[in-house]
Amino acid sequence: MTRNPQSRRISSETLIQLAVDTLRSDIRPAIPAEQRYTLAMVANALEIARRDMVTDGDSALWDLLDAVYPDGDGTAERLAHDIRHGHVHDGAPPDLRALLKAIVIGELRIRNPRFLKSREIGG
């Protein structure tokens, strides 16, 4: 029988999720009410980090940068600058707003999927 040395490894994602679950189920009831907001922030930060580890949140940005800067030198800074100064606009590329929306949605899949749900956008 072949053994896989990785098969029983606990993933970092699982570890963070366990930490979040423990904070909420065991720690939250035991701390004073005025510290619960801080605990909620800590749990939220951990969940964002967990989603970031398993989600490719930058693909939409790279798609847009590749479309606008075929030389491969595109960055978010350059794109922001060129939008402000009118070098990149609704006409070029023609679907600029949709591509920007895709970037923002990609970020929200990591940062706040519930927000997407409230806007009736699939998380």
Partner 1 sequence: MSTSRPRTLDPANLDPLVTYLAHALGAERVRVSSAELLSGGAVQENWSLYVEVVGGPRAGSARWVLRTDAAARLPVSLDRTGEFAVLQTANAAGVRIAEPILECADAAVIGAPFMLQAFLAGTAQARRLVRTPDLAAWGGDVAVELAHQLAKIHAIRPGLNSAERLSFLPQPLLPPARAEVARLRGMLDGAGEARPALEYALTWLDQNAPAPNPLCLVHGDYRTGNYMVADGQLSAILDWEFAHWGDPLEDIGWFCARCWRFGNDAMEAGGIARRDVFVDAYVHTSDLSVRPADIIYWEVMAAVKWAAIAVLQGDRYRKGGEDAIELVLTGLMPSEMELDALLLIEQLEGTQNG
User: At 97, phi and psi to the nearest 5?
Assistant: -65, -40
Site string for partner 1, 29-48 (x = CB under 8 A): ---------x--xx-xx--x
Judged by CB under 8 A, the residue of 20, 50, 51, 96 near partner 1 is 96
User: Which lies closer to partner 1 via its Cβ, residue 17 or residue 99?
Assistant: 99
SS3 assignment, position 40: helix
Residues 68, 70, 75, 77, CA torsion sign: negative
How far apart (Å, rounded) are the C-alpha atoms in residues 108 and 70?
27
Closest distance of CB 98 from partner 1, Å: 9
Judged by CB under 8 A, the residue of 20, 50, 51, 79 near partner 1 is 79
